[in-house]
Structure 1
Amino acid sequence: MKLAVVGGGSTYTPELIDGFARLRDTLPVEELVLVDPAADRLELVGGLARRIFARQGHPGKIVTTSDLDAGVAGADAVLLQLRVGGQAARNQDETWPLECGCVGQETTGAGGLAKALRTVPVVLDIAERVRRTNPDAWIIDFTNPVGIVTRALLQAGHKAVGLCNVAIGFQRKFAALLDVTPGEVHLDHVGLNHLTWELGVRLGGPDGEDVLPKLLAEHGDAIAGDLRMPRQLVDRLGVVPSYYLRYFYAHDEVVRELGTKPSRAAEVAAMEKELLEMYSDPALDEKPALLGKRGGAFYSEAAVDLASALLGGGGSAVQVVNTSNRGTLPFLPDDAVIEVQARVDGTGAVPLAVPALDPLYAGLIGHVTAYEDLALDAALRGGRDRVFKALLAHPLVGQFEYAEALTDKLIAHNREHLAWA
């Protein structure tokens, strides 16, 4: 089995490598190719990756290359984890929206749109090259904004599934609180990427006992604290919202908070510099503890499970993924991309049925899906007016004055990445 990771020079890649090494019985990778145009950091990451494999006794071969076509040739699956423009572009996404009193974040709001506009054309080009080289390969997208990027891939006819670590993070957290194994916890996870709610927490499978009321009663303070939301809000909802919902439920508070501290991008950039220095140490043969602060917890486990299921291995049959709606949420178009539990096998991912949603959740899902429609149109066809309409449609922007100003700022900060600008 051959896998390729596009964006393999990321400082986060050793987390993925560690997962491949530990879970080699689930996903027996024979060749792993790390693809990245940044040759200097790619070699540092690749060197550590080989040492991690060696330490854990993994027999697979790790190859590094800046040649995309060569790297993906013959791959059974291609994982996308790229960041167009790097942390510098992310820093802009997180700062210029604040000038208009709007949340600055790299996956939602105006910053999320900027990232989508930079990313979708690049990902589609990569996918086309994968299809020319190996049309049977699965594309697993971890590149944000996952929902929009996955929809672009599926709309273009690619064999693609989107992946996020939010659900597996909740699964692991709830399992620890309940003192059970993660495999015993099934989430009624519903929504869009970075816009989801845990409507139930079931033991033993989709039809198991719902222990969410017990979790909230016994551990509500800890859960609310992790979300950085009031316990009162979580109790009144009776569900567990993703921490990304804080941008919607406490927008103005978050804007004030973000204006008083360095951006997350600045923090990560400093962390990456330190990590690369660590990776250059030939004695280092395990992922450093600092990597745990980088973000993306449990990504490796989720990626291994998904790739294994798609490639006919031992991965879980039911997983939370981003895939086409196909009537699952009846108020959305069939081709909208939703994030729910799905049955995954070699033919792809088919969403499991979900109960009728409270209008409180369905309304916001519908609103953000409309924004994503417009965002994808802007990413594919460009043009100031399309960018403006997407911003005006986003519930975190939504006002003419803000949308007008943010459109100009977005284009000015991203001109080098926008072919039409």
Structure 2
Amino acid sequence: MKLVIVGGGGFRVPLVYRALSTGQFAGVIDRVVLHDADPGRLTAIARVLQTMPLPAGSGPPHLVTELSLDAALPGADVVFAAIRSGGAAGRVLDERVALDEGLLGQETVGAGGISYALRSVPQMLVVAESMRRVCPDAWLINFTNPAGMVTRAVQTVLGDRALGICDSASGLVSRAAAAAGVPLAEGSLAGVDYVGLNHLGWLRGLTHDGVDRLPALLADPQRLTSFEEGRVFGPDLPRLLRSVPNEYLFYYYFHREAVRSLAGATETRGAFLHRQQDQLYTELLTAPEPFAVWEGARRAREEGYLAEARPDAGDRDESDLAGGGYERIALAAMRALLTGQPAELIVNVRNGSALPTLPADAVVELPARLDRAGAIPLAAGPPTSHQLGLMAQVLAVEEAVVNAAVHADRDSALRAFVLHPLIDSAHAASRLLLGYEHAFPDLAAFWK
């Protein structure tokens, strides 16, 4: 079986390769092709993989690097896509233009997410069209952010052979279940009630032995604040909502505090990563032990993740830092799709009739059963009025962004900024679009 990683020079590729080489996923893939348009990044990550320590007897897949997408894709059984259009420097601009307006510039939420999507979607449509032409039977597992919007766009080309993944929802379920004393069987989400969109979801139930254990967890501040999301939201808000929100809902429920924290920071998250990556990739090309250098950088990145949501919490717990969510979900999905060994995972999937109050072509984030037939959402209870309202608002933004990116329609892009619930003024929305067009001249040219 052949796996192609588009964005193969990306920072997290070593996590995937390590998981393919040992443990439960070893042997599923025998060939890995890393594709990236940046030869320096591609070489740097290849050096990390070549010096990665693996247990005796492990069998890493054969590794190839390829600068041409069309040369990388033939014979692919599955494609992972994790590209960053505009690079780390683009993320800095996404953040800064919004913060200059006093608004949130996070890369997937708010104005920054819209700007990022306007670059990501056209680039990912090129990948999807290449796949349809070169390897039409391959599966596309998308990690490119904003994952929900990008997955919805590429499904217009690849249909249900494209799905998206994110580790934040699965991480929430694992941590909350452990705190509630609910055992989760490998490959099963029985008793888990989670509903939402990418980076916009809620854990609403954890049933075990016929009893929903979530209400007791919500009523116990000590247990609730023993894991990441409980610390981010505190004990009161989850109790009021009767659910545990995905960590990214911090930007909605504590928007003012998030903007204040980001505006007062010595550097934004994007600026930190840009600075780190400039140094890191240069060092990886010459360091005698590239893997050790990469591993140290990984830890530093994880320490700063969502730091604005933890102003008083200090360092993250070791359980929150452990690498394993991202690649575990991706490879579990891949194995189910390629081998037919079923798995239940929270993925970004076409809604169909799963949530009748939302459009059928919306991409929702729900527990789903995956096998050779694809990803089929499991039965889900209807969203509450609050959940439905917020999801519908954000879906309207996603629809406008995808239309703007597919049809080069500036009015649709402006409509996306106007409609977003975290952008509080139509005048500000107009200034944001102008600001992003100035920061990214290719965006202004795109409309023409």
Please give the TM-score of this superposition, normalised by the length of structure 2. Answer: 0.87
Superposed counterparts of 1:68-79, under 5 Å: 68-79=69-80
Provide the rounded CA distance (Å) in 2 between the counterparts of 1:182 and 1:45. Answer: 34
Q: Tell me by how many angstroms 1:223 deviates.
A: 4.0
Alignment partner, residue 52 of structure 1? 52
Q: Which amino acid in 1 is paired with 2:337?
A: L
Q: Tell me by how many angstroms 1:402 deviates.
A: 1.3
Quickly say closer, same or farther: Cα 1:236–1:366, change in 2 above 3 A: same
Q: Tell me by how many angstroms 1:105 deviates.
A: 0.9
Larger displacement relative to structure 2 (286-295 or 40-49):
286-295
Q: Which amino acid in 1 is paired with 2:396?
A: A
Quickly say closer, same or farther: Cα 1:58–1:270, change in 2 above 3 A: farther
Residues 168-211 of structure 1: per-residue CA shift (max 9 Å, x gap): 2123323543567653673322111111111112448xxx6432
Is there any run of 5+ residues in structure 2 with no aligned partner, and where? 306-322
Quickly say closer, same or farther: Cα 1:280–1:202, change in 2 above 3 A: farther
Q: Give 1:354's match in structure 2, choosing from 380, 395, 401.
A: 380
Provide the rounded CA distance (Å) in 1 between the counterparts of 2:173 and 2:113. Answer: 26
Q: Tell me by how many angstroms 1:420 deviates.
A: 2.2
Alignment partner, residue 335 of structure 1? 361
Q: Tell me by how many angstroms 1:17 deviates.
A: 1.5
Provide the rounded CA distance (Å) in 2 between the counterparts of 1:221 and 1:409. Answer: 40
**Among the aligned pairs, what percent are the same residue?**
36
Alignment partner, residue 223 of structure 2? 219
Alignment partner, residue 68 of structure 2? 67
Larger displacement relative to structure 2 (270-279 or 84-93):
270-279
Provide the rounded CA distance (Å) in 2 between the counterparts of 1:99 and 1:170. Answer: 32
Which secondary structure does the structure 2 equivalent of 1:341 belong to? strand
Structure 2 residue 153 is matched with structure 1 residue 148:
no
Provide the rounded CA distance (Å) in 1 between the counterparts of 2:61 and 2:183. Answer: 29
Superposed counterparts of 1:186-265, under 5 Å: 186=189, 187-203=192-208, 209-216=211-218, 217=220, 218-223=222-227, 228-261=232-265, 262-265=267-270
Larger displacement relative to structure 2 (102-111 or 216-225):
216-225
Native 8 Å contact 2:194 2:202 kept in 1: yes
Q: Tell me by how many angstroms 1:53 deviates.
A: 7.2
Native 8 Å contact 1:163 1:321 kept in 2: yes
What is the aligned residue count? 417
Larger displacement relative to structure 2 (376-385 or 61-70):
376-385
Quickly say closer, same or farther: Cα 1:357–1:75, change in 2 above 3 A: same
Which secondary structure does the structure 2 equivalent of 1:319 belong to? strand
Alignment partner, residue 267 of structure 1? 272
Alignment partner, residue 2 of structure 2? 2
Alignment partner, residue 177 of structure 1? 179
Native 8 Å contact 1:114 1:414 kept in 2: no
Structure 2 residue 193 is matched with structure 1 residue 166:
no
Native 8 Å contact 2:20 2:60 kept in 1: no
Provide the rounded CA distance (Å) in 1 between the counterparts of 2:167 and 2:285. Answer: 24
Residues 349-394 of structure 1: per-residue CA shift (max 9 Å, x gap): 1111111221011111111111111111111122332221111111
Alignment partner, residue 36 of structure 2? 36
Native 8 Å contact 2:25 2:335 kept in 1: no
Which secondary structure does the structure 1 equivalent of 2:380 belong to? coil
Q: Give 1:281's match in structure 2, choosing from 282, 287, 293.
A: 287
Alignment partner, residue 90 of structure 2? 89
Which secondary structure does the structure 1 equivalent of 2:447 belong to? coil
Q: Tell me by how many angstroms 1:290 deviates.
A: 3.3
- After superposition, the CA RMSD in angstroms is 2.3
Quickly say closer, same or farther: Cα 1:81–1:25, change in 2 above 3 A: closer
Residues 87-142 of structure 1: per-residue CA shift (max 9 Å, x gap): 10001111111122211111121111111110111101111112211110000000
Native 8 Å contact 1:48 1:279 kept in 2: no
Provide the rounded CA distance (Å) in 1 between the counterparts of 2:430 and 2:41. Answer: 39
